[in-house]
Structure 1
Amino acid sequence: MSFIRPMVPGDLLKISSTNLDHLTETYNIGFYLEYLTKWPDLCKVIEGHDGQIEGYILGKVESSPYPVPLYPYHPDTNPDPHYLPWHGHITALTVAPSARRLGHATRLSAALEQGADAQKGWFVDLYVRASNEIAKELYRKMGYSVYRRVLDYYNDGEDAFDMRKSLSRDVGGKHVRENGENFHVRPEDVW
């Protein structure tokens, strides 16, 4: 039986086996440590009965760095379509190849969503490669939908889908949209 627990710095020496997929982004140790120091409650691992790390999630809560156009923020009165209110973000979610299809990604995402909801986020978002059909389907099953397509987002020129899931604060789902695949933006339009 596997269980979710907070990520600790020592886990960074044990997660390489989870990053074996060619679609998994691997970061430098400083990047992981920054997340652990700034958002420790949104960084989790799933550990197997043998003590091996079977997956992890890195997340944060944030908003656009520039001032809210109108205060207090409300989606109906926000004049800037690119402004991001307080929300959770999944930066990295990966499961070791040997532990896939066990529900680990869903459990890790749910843990992050609960943390972002407790911090009064409006939604949780993530970016996924437009070609990554497996990940897109997984996120759709977890309740995420495409909000917009970010053209040329990745260094290799591939587009990304900005996928979102409303949290309890987003009554009426004002931060999600249907047919987001057809709403195109440039990387400089997103924060």
Structure 2
Amino acid sequence: MDHNKSNDNNNDSRNVAFYVREANPIDLMNPGISRINVDYWTETYNAGFYLHYFLTWPDLFLVAVDPNKEIIGYIMGKVEGEGTNWHSHITALSVDLFHRKCGIASDLMKRFEEVSNKRKAYFCDLYVRVSNQVAVEMYKKMGYVIYRRVLEYYSGDPSEDAFDMRKPLLCDVDRKSVLPAPKDPIHPDEVPE
């Protein structure tokens, strides 16, 4: 099912037409996804990694497409855990540099959360660089909270900490998934697989 959208965001006067749909095998080869992965904030993965997500969680691998059928954004993730720890995880979210601040990331996340609710996830989580304050603020506006800090999560010189951010979903009526973490901060080897 496609979601059509024409967004006029108060932060940006551009009116951008796009629609969100599940990714397909051709999208994995499309230069759109690799073209989007050009900035510092976006983690990149090998083709096998993207293919694994596509084959295992196809309903959680979504693309935003413009009227010319060019990919201008994508989100991919998975579901994991057990019991009240059954949750969806956003592994990657990126929007083309020329289409940011137009509501595309928000729409991708909303659609991802809809699918997560259908999968009976208790919460949705993601990791974001501590220094990426634009993304942190966007996630907060969408109802995500900083659950804990993961020390030196992003490798590099220097390495960088991540915020583990969470949003309770429909199954978590008591919002237990966003209660204070039992340990904060943690090291990457303490992050559950």
Task: Please tell me whether residue 18 in structure 1 is matched to residue 44 in structure 2.
Answer: no
- 1:71-90 → structure 2 map (5 Å cutoff): 73=83, 85-90=85-90
What RMSD in Å do the two structures reach over aligned CA positions? 1.5
2:186 alignment counterpart:
185
**What residue ranges of structure 2 are gaps of 5+ in the alignment?**
1-16
Instruction: Point out 4+ residue stretches in structure 1 off by more than 4 angstroms.
Output: none
- 1:56-75 → structure 2 map (5 Å cutoff): 56-63=74-81, 73=83
Cα pair 1:94 1:105 within 8 Å, conserved = yes
Which of 95-104 and 19-28 deviates more?
A: 19-28
Measure the CA separation in 1 of the matches of 2:129 and 2:23: 25
Cα pair 1:145 1:177 within 8 Å, conserved = no
Q: CA deviation at 1:177?
A: 3.6
Partner SS for 1:26: coil
User: What is the aligned counterpart of 1:42 among 57, 60, 70?
Assistant: 60
Q: CA deviation at 1:141?
A: 1.0
Give the total of aligned pairs. Answer: 171
Please give the TM-score of this superposition, normalised by the length of structure 1.
0.85
**What residue ranges of structure 1 are gaps of 5+ in the alignment?**
75-84
Partner SS for 1:30: helix
Measure the CA separation in 2 of the matches of 1:46 and 1:152: 31
Task: Please tell me whether residue 8 in structure 1 is matched to residue 24 in structure 2.
Answer: yes
1:78 alignment counterpart:
none
Share of identical aligned residues, percent? Answer: 48
Partner SS for 1:184: coil
Which amino acid counterpart does residue 124 of structure 1 have in structure 2? C
